[in-house]
Amino acid sequence: MIIFLWIVWSGRVADLHSSLISNTKPQEPDSDLIINHQAIDPNNLCTPESFNDGQWEYSKVLDPQNATENDVAAVSKYTCSEGFHHKCYTRGGDELIRSAKMVNWKWKPNCQLLNFQPGLLASQIAANPILFVGDSITELQYESLKCLLGKYGDPTEFELDTKKYSKIFEIQHKVAARFVRSDYFLRLDTWKIQEQGEEPGPTLGKGFNQPWANLLPRFRYLVLNTAAHWHKSTLFGENESLDEMMAAYEKAINAALDVVQQHQHLTTYVRSSPYGHGNCSLYTEPLQKPNPPNGTVPWEYEWHLFPKMNELWKKAIKVRNDPKIKYLDVSRLSELRGDVHSHPNTDCLHSCIPGYTGPVDDWNKLLHHEMMMDLLDLK
């Protein structure tokens, strides 16, 4: 049975690659989707839930004291040259050493994940673009994907508006991926999804809140996430309480999903929100078990509520029972990495990229896995 599945699967992959390849420039073959060229056990394929069940395994790929910037990029299979403030390995010095240490850890799920095929994914999103909507953590995932697919993209990224954090990644001069910065998904004064050209309305501190719903007809895939910019405010109620904030957050979730469901061509991936790690400079390797914040440390903001926020998303998705809205749980694998944050003394929420140095690339590997599973009709 397993060998038969391998033969059928190989044929489907070949047909899929052939049908998509004309959409991008010629490319060298990628590795098989089959893991380690072995037959797949269909009962042990990763799901968005089981992917979180695993451990970070150590293997000395690089010598941190002698590794170069190019070494880190090569091991991580990054092929982008553009700068980005969370590409920690490009800072040199101690940050390069720290990044090289991170490279030696790799997430090993207890299930089987399809091998990441950048060429196949590039072909797919060139024909069927993907939109990322959310805060700066969603921007991390967008930047990770852009670098994993860098060699297939056009030489330079086109930024629509740096001030508004709207970015585009093109393949053969066509939009393949886009990021729109929207920290709340809707206006916090009208509680309505913004129309094209509409002002962002009030924000909580430094943030961005750009229209995005008008773009949905142009995209085949959507990645949604926001959490980090939600704080107590009188915008949510006169008591300025966390309960009021959470009620407002749930309202934003349902407003966003209501809009998404108006576009039946769209497949939506809601990514979970992993919390950060206070005093993250104290972490030098992955944790054996999560160390969740308790809400008593000022610089941990509302991180202790991220698990509850995730539950609200899962609840809303379950109620809708829409197979085209999927929940990608990446929390546990990320929450074990207190050692990978971008600026250990000042920023303990954002993670460094590139991949294998931190969990963000694994988010995209799970995204790739889910997309390929759907395309190959293997669910």
- At the top level of CATH, the class of 43-375 is alpha beta
Encode pLDDT of 96-125 as tens digits: 999 999 989 999 999 999 999 999 999 999
209 DSSP 8-state letter:
B
Q: Crossing angle of helices 2-21/118-127, nearest 10°?
A: 50
Q: Which residue has the higher pLDDT, 26 or 95?
A: 95
Encode pLDDT of 221-279 as tens digits: 999 999 999 999 999 999 999 999 999 999 999 999 999 999 999 999 999 999 999 88
Taking the C-alpha atoms of residue 276 and residue 288, their distance in angstroms, rounded to an integer, is 16
> Are 123 and 15 contacting, i.e. CB atoms less than 8 angstroms apart?
no
Taking the C-alpha atoms of residue 122 and residue 20, their distance in angstroms, rounded to an integer, is 9
Please compute the mean of the pLDDT values over residues 352-372 and round it to a whole number: 87
Q: Give the pLDDT confidence score for residue 260 in this predicted structure.
A: 98
Please compute the mean of the pLDDT values over residues 16-44 and round it to a whole number: 53
Q: Give the pLDDT confidence score for residue 43 in this predicted structure.
A: 84
> Are 361 and 76 contacting, i.e. CB atoms less than 8 angstroms apart?
yes
Q: Is the pTM of this model over 0.75?
A: yes
What lies within 8 Å, CB to CB, of 1 at 6+ separation is none
Question: Is residue 54 within a helix (H) or strand (E), and if so which, with residue range?
Answer: strand 54-58
Measured from the Cβ of residue 100, the count of other Cβ atoms closer than 10 Å reads: 23
87 DSSP 8-state letter:
B
Q: Give the pLDDT confidence score for residue 345 in this predicted structure.
A: 82
Average pLDDT, the chain: 88
Encode pLDDT of 227-237 as tens digits: 999 999 999 99
Q: Which residue has the higher pLDDT, 173 or 22?
A: 173
**Strand pairing class (267-271; 325-328):** parallel
Taking the C-alpha atoms of residue 233 and residue 53, their distance in angstroms, rounded to an integer, is 36
CA nearest to 252, candidates 190, 321, 333:
190
Measured from the Cβ of residue 7, the count of other Cβ atoms closer than 10 Å reads: 10
Q: Is the pLDDT of residue 319 over 70?
A: yes
Tell the residue number behind the tokens 């992959």, with chain if given.
13
Question: Is residue 178 within a helix (H) or strand (E), and if so which, with residue range?
Answer: strand 174-181
CA nearest to 232, candidates 301, 168, 315:
301
Confidence of residue 38 (pLDDT cuts 50, 70, 90): low
Confidence of residue 81 (pLDDT cuts 50, 70, 90): confident
Please compute the mean of the pLDDT values over residues 303-317 and round it to a whole number: 98
Q: Give the pLDDT confidence score for residue 211 in this predicted structure.
A: 95
Q: Give the pLDDT confidence score for residue 85 in this predicted structure.
A: 85
Instruction: At 14, list the tokens.
Output: 């070949």
Q: Residues 16, 20, 25, CA angle at the centre, nearest 5°? A: 140
Q: Give the pLDDT confidence score for residue 15 in this predicted structure.
A: 53
Please compute the mean of the pLDDT values over residues 68-87 and round it to a whole number: 89
SS3 content of the chain, % helix, strand, coil (to 5): 40, 15, 45
> Are 286 and 336 contacting, i.e. CB atoms less than 8 angstroms apart?
yes
Encode pLDDT of 7-23 as tens digits: 444 555 555 554 444 44
